Copies of this chain bind each other. A is one copy, B any other.
Amino acid sequence: MPLSPDPALWLRRAVSLAVANVENGGGPFGAVVVKGGELVAEGANLVTSTHDPTAHAEVTAIRRAATKLNSHDLSGCEIYASCEPCPMCLGAIFWARLDRIYYAATQLEAAAAGFDDAHFYQQLALPPTQRQIPMHATPIPGANDPFLAWRRFSAKVPY
């Protein structure tokens, strides 16, 4: 996809969503998914209002875009976020195969407002055994069985 002709236009929309969401009792984040210059879906942070810790603005916008396009694969789309995506959202963006990411504020500005995005980037960069949440690799017998089943299953849909 070519560069968007006016990233600032879509970013202003994402920022407006974020500001409005605070007034609605949500977190200060918004995101917009665009394809070929047309809006596909948008979302704001719904973590506390829906009791869903994964309902960040980007994840919400991606889920809505995927529903609208009837596909888990959003290649050909761009995402515009009011703030630099956190590790969860960046992971979601990679899995959704989005083409390009624009963001307005940075993870440092989010940190200054009390959010853990920058801290979690530091945590993910550590070896698993050094992270704040203990991670126990436990290679039980049969741990690889799901992948054996996957290899054998002829009707699988890769992603």
Contact = CB atoms under 8 A, between A and B. Distances in A.
Nearest to A65: B53
24 contacts: A11-B140, A12-B140, A15-B142, A18-B145, A19-B149, A21-B146, A22-B153, A22-B156, A23-B153, A25-B155, A30-B146, A47-B72, A51-B67, A51-B72, A52-B66, A52-B72, A87-B91, A88-B88, A88-B91, A91-B120, A95-B116, A104-B138, A109-B143, A124-B124
Given A19-B149, A90-B87, A109 B144 contact: yes
Interface residues of A, number: 93
Identical subunits present? 2
A99 to B, nearest CB: 7
